[in-house]
Amino acid sequence: MASFRFLLFFLFTLSFLIIISESQTTSKPTKLVLQVAKDRATNLHVANIQKRTPPLKVPFVIDLNGRFMWVNCENQYLSSTYNAPLCHSTLCSKANSHYCHKCPTTARPGCHNNTCGLMAVNPVTHEAAMGELAQDALWLPSSTQGSSPGPMVRVPQFLFSCAPSHLLQRGLPRKTQGVADLGHAPISLPIQLSSHFGFQQKFALCLTSTNENGVIFFGQGPYYMLPGIDVSRPVSYTPLTISQQGEYHINVRAIKINNKLVPLNSSLITPTKVGLGRVKLCTTTPYTVLEHSIFNALNKAFADDQQLKGVPQVENVQPFGACFDSRKLSFTKMGPVVPNVDLVLQNNVVWRIHGTNSMVQARPGVMCLGFVDGGVRPTDSVVIGTLQMEDNLLQFDLASSRLGFSSSLLYRRTRCSNFNFTSSTTTP
């Protein structure tokens, strides 16, 4: 009898422990944080993300407009939790994959018969290759307060594409093993995270210009940077429109240099018939790319501005269109003192770009306006690149279809490298 009571007690305790451990692994964090670093050679931003079982840190390039995560599976992919859904299954339709994958060699992750194919694209070279839709565990640090990382949390069956390694050969930093996407698509990283953990479809980018780490937040603010500044507010908002490919666009009504309108062919920035803004945001372009006539008009207005009187213009350094003798520029904490570039958005909300986000040290003694020529009739008239985003908080509020932006955090005595990445707990 005693032993029976003991057994009952034992079973009770055991089930209790199982519930506790289960609730720990499936606990619902309200926010996640991801550390990102700038790769010097390519100017791309890279995050180490833990995947697989046992977890392994793998470097991924951040692609704001990617539709799903893809990773090289040809390089010793070892995981006890890898699974590839069969074609025509509901997971394949969720991923919008209607193609049955076949593989002539022996089975391994990325290579099975009758799984579904998902075309992975290198965001720099635009090369594409067929990958296998797969599921595996993904781990990210939670952050209860938004001020430092907390315990790691897991998405046990995260969907991604298992792609061939040749897709990584060009354009991407040497060690990267894949692309982490932030687009608005059914199995994109932000959408899978918010649906798994049940938080709002929101994420925020804070990219650094330096060798230090920046941060991506998933979930609702506040987001704190040292010394205790909530960078999630105040922010200005502008409507965010999503293209059919899941890419982020905004509507720019005018461009001003030092408060004066830059003469533009307005049909180039008028939203498309379906209301899509003509300005795309992109993390795989280091400098903002402008349609040819906008590029010329911007460089001319910038170089002609009163404020640059006395600063000699020098021969252009490719690919830039307005370069100056930097020894004649004066500098503050906000970078070189140059005319502000304002993107005038809907309702006259202004995204102001200061010297720190507009000028590039192109060679010793020469600084250039960091915008490049996109040629005639590009798909998007303006593609905002990372130089113009660095040390700004950009909050993508997918639920309310709006973009919140802080303008330079340097004005608020902080920067994107000021997130406290000292973890308060150890990893599991």
Which residues of the chain form contacts with ligand NAG (CB under 6 A)? 102-104, 106-107, 111-113, 148, 226, 265, 267-268, 420, 422, 424
Compute the least distance from the CB of residue 424 to ligand NAG, in Å: 4
Q: Provide CB contacts within 8 A for 6, sequence distance 6+.
A: none
Structure tokens given for 345: 């958005």
3-state secondary structure of 208: coil
Closer by beta carbon to ligand NAG, 56 or else 103:
103
Compute the least distance from the CB of residue 423 to ligand NAG, in Å: 7
Compute the least distance from the CB of residue 141 to ligand NAG, in Å: 12
Helix (H) or strand (E) holding 278: none
Closer by beta carbon to ligand NAG, 148 or else 201:
148
Structure tokens given for 73: 């599976």
Cα distances (angstroms) measured from residue 211 to each of 39, 125, 423 = 8, 25, 20
d(CA 238, CA 404): 7
Minimal CA–CA distance to 387: which of 398, 402, 372, 403?
Answer: 372
Compute the least distance from the CB of residue 83 to ligand NAG, in Å: 15
3-state secondary structure of 124: coil
Compute the least distance from the CB of residue 381 to ligand NAG, in Å: 8
d(CA 362, CA 353): 18
Closer by beta carbon to ligand NAG, 112 or else 196:
112
Closer by beta carbon to ligand NAG, 115 or else 188:
115
3-state secondary structure of 170: coil
Compute the least distance from the CB of residue 191 to ligand NAG, in Å: 29
Compute the least distance from the CB of residue 107 to ligand NAG, in Å: 4
Minimal CA–CA distance to 375: which of 301, 295, 308, 321?
Answer: 295
Strands 279-281 and 382-384: parallel
| Sequence-ordered strand ranges (E) for 125-258 | 128-141, 152-163, 178-181, 202-206, 213-219, 224-225, 229-230, 236-239, 241-242, 248-250, 252-257
Compute the least distance from the CB of residue 362 to ligand NAG, in Å: 29
